[in-house]
């Protein structure tokens, strides 16, 4: 049988540091195959982290990342390492060093980053599911772009031991699947949670998130929202950010994430001076300028937002919102267009990250013939509630 690299026509898998692991002969994931974003260690293999310089300056891993080992021990076989955006600091699916990852369900359009390879490998049917990571939307946005189920867990629920960091207080180990049952099955393993899911409470609709996404997205998601309402009851419209979601995205999330990214990678960048691609280069340059005053103001506002969201989602409430402000941009779109899309996307995607909440993206709509996701957010720790709900909606 041809190897996964021979069958991969989407540039989903990494060639420079290929790794395979056979799954246990029994377990809840027995017989399934998966890809792992190339930020996760596999013993005896190196990691690219989307950067040739990172690959050159780091040796083989001594042990396999905890999340990867959990999946293998549960019966799933690792088919290969999947492509990632450079140093995971990007939301599109392009990498100047390793090329664009192609979107199987929206040809000619971005796959979404930074978990681009994991999304493409799953959407193309090369694997049954894939492990990614989500800091600012790097599972949720590719899920929306590629027509997949994508899960960002509560912060800290799934181990990131053995994974490359970007923004540690936002970084999560997320995953993709083509069907909701598989998404839940994988989630139960990674979360280590076999207890019955909680019963959902009231349904809330994030009116300001829909407004930020725009009328065409709202219209495209109308039937999907109605389907959720048919299960949970009429949604109550709420405004999350009186000051505007753009303020949350640009003045809170972006500042704290940038500070953490520079703390995580600044010393390595300064020492090795890698040739960083456009967009990512400018983000790291700005990250190096975030001072203590900027950080403290943003961090304080973040905790205020987290408390606000905790109150809102009490009693097992579920929040419905668009995953993305639109369909995937075309590959090679002008940088100004990409930057504008990124800012609008972060205004919506930052909500779960700032409040450390779980979010699932559901492939319940299309717009202009391309996939478009609807998202559900629940209170911190209510991950299995979302996974159970996704399966029932499917």
Closest CA to 189 of 164, 157, 144, 163: 157
pLDDT in tens, 55-81: 999 999 999 999 999 999 999 999 999
Contact between residue 82 and residue 38 where contact means Cβ atoms under 8 Å apart: yes
Strands (E), the chain: 33-37, 77-82, 129-131, 149-152, 175-177, 203-206, 236-238, 318-322, 359-367, 370-378
The 10s digit of each residue's pLDDT in 265-320 is: 999 999 999 999 999 999 999 999 999 999 999 999 999 999 999 999 999 999 99
Quick one: pLDDT band at residue 3, thresholds 50, 70, 90? Answer: confident
Q: What is the pLDDT of residue 269?
A: 98
**Is residue 384 within a helix (H) or strand (E), and if so which, with residue range?**
helix 383-393
Q: Considering Cα of 319, then 322, then 325, then 328, what sign does the dihedral take? A: positive
- Write the CB contacts of 295 (distance below 8 Å, at least 6 apart in sequence): 255, 256, 259
Residue 213 has pLDDT above 70, yes or no: yes
Q: Interior CA angle at 147 toward 146 and 149, to 5°? A: 110
Q: Are 81 and 42 in contact (CB under 8 A)?
A: yes
For every residue of 281-323, DSSP letters joined together read HHHHHHHTT--HHHHHHHHHHHHHHHHHHHHHTGGG-EEEEES
Taking all residues of the chain, what is their mean pLDDT, rounded to a whole number?
A: 97
Q: Which residues pair with 362 in a beta bridge?
A: 374
| Residue-level pLDDT at 358 | 99
What DSSP string runs through 130-189? EE--BSSSTTHHHHHHHT-EEEEPPTTSS--TTB--S-TTT-B--EEESSHHHHHHHHHH
The answer to whether the pTM exceeds 0.85 is: yes
| pLDDT over 80 (residue 1) | no
Q: What is the DSSP string of 45-57?
A: ----TT-HHHHHH
Listed in sequence order, the residues at least 6 apart from 106 whose beta carbon sits closer than 8 Å to its beta carbon are: 145, 146, 147, 327, 328, 370, 371
CA gap 86, 88 in Å, rounded = 5
pLDDT digits (tens, 9 = 90+) for 163-187: 999 999 999 999 999 999 999 999 9
- The answer to whether 343 and 250 have CB atoms below 8 angstroms apart is yes
Helix axes 292-312, 335-355, angle to 10 degrees: 60
Give pLDDT, residue 93. 85
Catalytic residues: 37, 114, 138
**pLDDT for the residue numbered 88:** 98
The side-by-side arrangement of strands in the sheet containing 129-131 is 77-82, 33-37, 129-131, 175-177, 149-152, 359-367, 370-378, 318-322, 203-206, 236-238
CA distance linking residue 139 with residue 78, whole number of Å: 19
Q: Return d(Cα 379, Cα 386) in angstroms, integer.
A: 10
Predicted confidence at residue 220, as pLDDT, reads 98
The tens digit of pLDDT for each residue in 226-277 reads 999 999 999 999 999 999 999 999 999 999 999 999 999 999 999 999 999 9
What domains can you pick out in the chain, each with its CATH number?
A: 4-191 (3.90.1300.10), 203-244+291-393 (no CATH)
* 367, burial (CB in 10 Å: exposed 0-12, middle 13-18, buried 19+): middle
pLDDT at 232: 98
Q: Give CA–CA dist 35/121, Å, rounded.
A: 7
CB 205 within 8 A of CB 169: no
Task: Work out the angle at residue 161's Cα, subtended by the Cα atoms of residues 257 and 94, and round it to the nearest 5 degrees.
Answer: 50
């Amino acid at each position: 049988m041809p190897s996964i690299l021979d069958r991969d026509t989407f540039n989903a898998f990494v060639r420079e540091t290929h790794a395979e692991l056979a799954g246990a002969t029994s377990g809840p994931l027995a017989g399934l195959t998966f890809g792992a974003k190339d930020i996760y260690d596999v013993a005896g293999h190196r990691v690219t982290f989307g950067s040739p310089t990172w690959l050159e300056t780091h040796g083989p891993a001594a042990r396999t990342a905890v999340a990867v080992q959990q999946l293998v021990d549960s019966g799933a076989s690792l088919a290969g390492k999947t492509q990632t955006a450079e140093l995971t600091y990007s939301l599109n699916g392009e990498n100047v060093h390793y090329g664009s990852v192609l979107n199987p369900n929206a040809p000619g359009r971005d796959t979404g980053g930074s978990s681009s390879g994991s999304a493409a490998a799953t959407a193309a049917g090369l694997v049954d599911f894939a492990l990614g990571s989500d800091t600012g939307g790097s599972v949720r946005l590719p899920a929306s772009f590629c027509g997949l189920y994508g899960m960002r867990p509560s912060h800290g629920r799934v181990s990131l031991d053995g994974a490359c960091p970007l923004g540690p207080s936002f970084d999560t180990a997320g995953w993709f699947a083509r069907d909701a049952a598989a998404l839940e099955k994988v989630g139960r393993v990674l979360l280590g949670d076999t207890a019955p899911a909680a019963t959902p409470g009231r349904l809330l609709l994030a009116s300001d998130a829909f407004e930020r996404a725009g009328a065409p997205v709202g219209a495209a998601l109308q039937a999907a929202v109605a389907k959720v309402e048919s299960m949970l009851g009429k949604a109550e419209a709420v405004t999350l950010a009186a000051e505007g979601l753009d303020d949350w995205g640009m003045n809170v999330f972006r500042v704290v994430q940038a500070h953490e990214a520079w703390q995580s990678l600044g010393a390595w960048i300064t020492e090795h001076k890698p040739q960083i691609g456009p967009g990512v280069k400018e983000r790291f340059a700005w990250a190096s300028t975030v001072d203590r005053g900027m950080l403290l103001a943003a961090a304080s506002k973040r905790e205020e937002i987290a408390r606000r969201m905790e109150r809102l989602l009490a009693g097992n409430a579920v929040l419905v919102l668009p995953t993305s402000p639109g369909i995937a941009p075309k590959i090679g779109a002008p940088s100004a267009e990409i930057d504008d899309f990124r800012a609008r996307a972060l205004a919506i995607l930052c909500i779960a990250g700032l409040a450390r909440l779980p979010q699932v993206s559901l492939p319940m709509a299309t717009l202009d013939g391309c996939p478009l996701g609807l998202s559900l957010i629940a209170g911190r720790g209510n991950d299995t509630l979302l996974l159970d709900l996704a399966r029932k909606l499917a």
